């Protein structure tokens, strides 16, 4: 009789966790083996394994759909599988685990004894390191990190993922971990410095690819040629480590996704957002004392308007331009980018001028950096003197004499058009923005609508922002309501996930609907788009304005952050109901045992099964 230990865990830690544990206990007993099973989930660790259990075990089974710590099982044969496999094919799972256990006899006919398997050394799992980052650094950043962890675990690798989000870098990689790593994965939609990974296999991809196809991303990273001992450093997106071809020895660039204008724009937006949030809410606080109270010098409302309106909003466009340039040319682009953005703000070109200035500054600075050649002892002058001077002169003169005036005219015309929108035009714009928010739920189309609305805040145009936030809240709220109203259309796992989706929806985290959309896109996405279009259209029709670009219902509690408040809440409720009704019509009743349905966030996510959302936008 063999002795086994196992750990089961699924995202919610309820249905599949418990069912897998029970299946392993029952089947092991029927096969004549002893097993101790620990369950991990939202309610903590149940029936924890003791040190004695682990020491006596011939093999370890990790039937998990989320990452778990396996360091305590060092030196033990480990079989990694999913909770679904442990439930449906339990006997094979146990048999496979026993096949790696020295001294354990596989199940055979009594009359045909089999030889004892030869003990084999257990290979220490290799280490991968990764960085994930999205423009706001909330939802996709952490969802991609979780997906990479699960996929690496399924492949037998350890992984350390650094997340670069709105609160800075978390779980930061150490020099020792980078040195040990077999490959580096950068899953980011914003600029990430890569100079510390010199001499390593380095794969650059988008955060969306890391989320939706983490297994393929890991395979591509590991398939890169081994680096040479003299591989160069990768600096931003301009230089990359050199790699030796396995056969010819020729050097090649690492595989990466081209970092085009979209990625540079999102980098600028990600650094601008904190200023927009802080400035918008502080301006709203000044209105608590009266809409025109800030006009009285020396008063608290005047001070609040000075902080939010003059300082925070005054920095929005320069920061946008500066970090677009930084994404293109790294640090040499910062000075011309900030100065070009400040000029754009002064001449009234708004966020459109800031975008133009940022791209001009970035590409000019990069061209200067790559073109100018100086003696080695004078190279230090380029980033601190030559590039800032020449780049700023070029961008400044172009903005003042060539580009600034036409862009300012376009911006003024757009602002006047949007502020004067009423009736059918406003409803159509709101419906379009709403549908875009729900189409890919945090993807490029969603971010395009969001960026458009955020940029208009600098021009005191608040209605598109209100429509975008209302539309972004309704998909997860509608799904949460649907799981309660028509539970027969959803699996047990989906019903549990619906509770989390409701909380995410209240916080304006559209990505809470992604697990549902990934599993059933042809029914969920149309229903979500319909509800979001209704929410956006009603918000524009009511003339609702929002002064802060994030926060969901938590912003609604701040006086004058949203106005008018009642109709805005009505727009969100209407969009949620429409989404729910769409799901009731389109989703089919589940006839099979819901516990046998595939889980959300499996151990090896695929393009149609991304990891569950664990964080915000």
Tell me the two tokens of residue 279.
Answer: 């400035």
Phi, psi (rounded to 5 degrees) for 53: -60, -45
User: What distances in angstroms separate CA 107 from CA 81, 89, 458, one per listed residue?
Assistant: 20, 15, 71
Cα(353)–Cα(320) distance, rounded to whole angstroms? 10
Residues assigned a catalytic role: 134
Q: Strand pairing of 183-188 and 168-170? A: unpaired
User: What distances in angstroms separate CA 304 from CA 132, 279, 396, 561, 590, one per listed residue?
Assistant: 36, 9, 31, 14, 55
Q: Strand pairing of 168-170 and 158-165? A: antiparallel
Neighbours of 88 (CB within 10 A): 14
* Residues 492, 18 contacting (CB under 8 angstroms): no
Angle, helices 350-371/334-346, rounded to nearest 10 degrees:
150
Reported as type and span, the H/E element at residue 263 is: helix 261-286
DSSP state of 74: T
Q: Find the Cα–Cα–Cα–Cα dihedral 104, 109, 115, 117, rounded to 10°.
A: -40
Phi, psi (rounded to 5 degrees) for 260: -90, -170
Tell me the two tokens of residue 589.
Answer: 């009743």
Tell me the two tokens of residue 20.
Answer: 């897998």
Q: Is 208 helix (H, G, I), strand (E, B) or coil?
A: helix
């Amino acid at each position: 009789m063999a002795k086994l230990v196992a750990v089961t865990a699924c995202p919610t830690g309820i249905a599949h966790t418990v069912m897998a544990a029970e299946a392993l206990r029952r089947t092991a007993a029927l096969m004549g083996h002893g097993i101790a099973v620990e369950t991990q989930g939202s309610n903590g660790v149940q029936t924890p394994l003791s040190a004695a259990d682990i020491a006596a075990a011939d093999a370890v089974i990790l039937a998990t759909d989320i990452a778990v710590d396996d360091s305590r099982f060092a030196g033990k044969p480990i079989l990694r599988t999913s909770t679904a496999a442990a439930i449906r094919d339990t006997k094979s799972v146990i048999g496979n685990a026993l096949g790696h256990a020295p001294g354990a006899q596989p199940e055979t006919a009594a009359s045909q004894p089999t030889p004892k398997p030869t003990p084999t050394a257990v290979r220490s799992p290799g280490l991968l390191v990764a960085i994930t980052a999205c423009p706001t650094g909330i939802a996709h950043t952490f969802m991609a990190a979780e997906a990479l962890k699960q996929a690496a675990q399924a492949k037998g690798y350890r992984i350390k993922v650094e997340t670069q989000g709105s609160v800075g870098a978390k779980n930061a990689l150490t020099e020792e971990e980078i040195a040990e790593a077999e490959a580096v994965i950068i899953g980011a939609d914003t600029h990430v410095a890569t100079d510390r990974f010199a001499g390593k296999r380095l794969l650059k991809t988008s955060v969306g690819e890391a989320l939706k196809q983490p297994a393929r991303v890991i395979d591509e990273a590991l398939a890169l040629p081994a680096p040479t001992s003299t591989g160069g450093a990768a600096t931003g997106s301009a230089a990359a480590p050199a790699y030796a071809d396995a056969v010819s020895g020729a050097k090649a660039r690492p595989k990466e996704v081209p970092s085009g204008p979209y990625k540079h724009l999102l980098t600028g937006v990600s650094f601008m957002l904190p200023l927009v949030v802080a400035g918008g809410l502080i301006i709203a606080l000044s209105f608590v004392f009266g809409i025109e109270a800030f006009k009285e010098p020396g008063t608290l409302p005047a001070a609040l308007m000075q902080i939010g309106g003059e300082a925070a909003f005054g920095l929005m466009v320069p920061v946008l331009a500066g970090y677009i340039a930084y994404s293109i040319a790294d640090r040499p682009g910062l000075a011309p980018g900030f100065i070009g953005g400040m000029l754009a703000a002064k001449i009234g070109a708004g966020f459109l001028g800031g975008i133009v200035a940022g791209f001009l500054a970035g590409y000019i600075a990069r061209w200067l950096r790559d073109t100018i050649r100086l003696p080695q002892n004078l190279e230090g002058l380029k980033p601190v003197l030559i590039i800032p001077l020449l780049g700023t002169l070029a961008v400044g003169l172009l903005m003042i004499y060539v580009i600034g005036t036409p862009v300012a005219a376009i911006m003024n015309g757009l602002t006047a058009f949007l502020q004067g929108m009423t009736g059918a035009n406003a409803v159509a714009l709101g419906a379009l923005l709403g549908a875009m928010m729900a189409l890919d739920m945090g993807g490029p189309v969603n971010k395009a609508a969001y960026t458009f609305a955020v940029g208009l805040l600098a021009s005191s145009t608040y209605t598109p922002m209100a429509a975008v936030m209302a539309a972004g809240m309704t998909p997860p709220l509608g799904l949460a309501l649907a799981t309660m109203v028509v539970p027969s259309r959803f699996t047990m796992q989906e019903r549990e996930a619906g509770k989390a989706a409701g909380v995410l929806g209240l916080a304006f985290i559209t990505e809470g609907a992604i697990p549902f959309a990934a599993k059933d896109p042809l029914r969920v996405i149309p229903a979500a788009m319909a509800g979001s279009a209704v929410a956006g259209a009603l918000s524009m029709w009511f003339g609702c304005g929002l002064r802060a670009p994030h926060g969901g219902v938590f912003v609604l509690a701040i006086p004058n952050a949203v106005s008018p408040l009642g109709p805005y809440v009505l727009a969100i409720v209407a969009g949620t109901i429409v989404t729910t009704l769409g799901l009731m019509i389109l989703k089919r009743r589940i006839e099979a045992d819901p516990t046998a349905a595939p889980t959300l966030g499996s151990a090896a996510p695929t393009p149609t099964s991304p990891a569950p959302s664990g964080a915000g936008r």
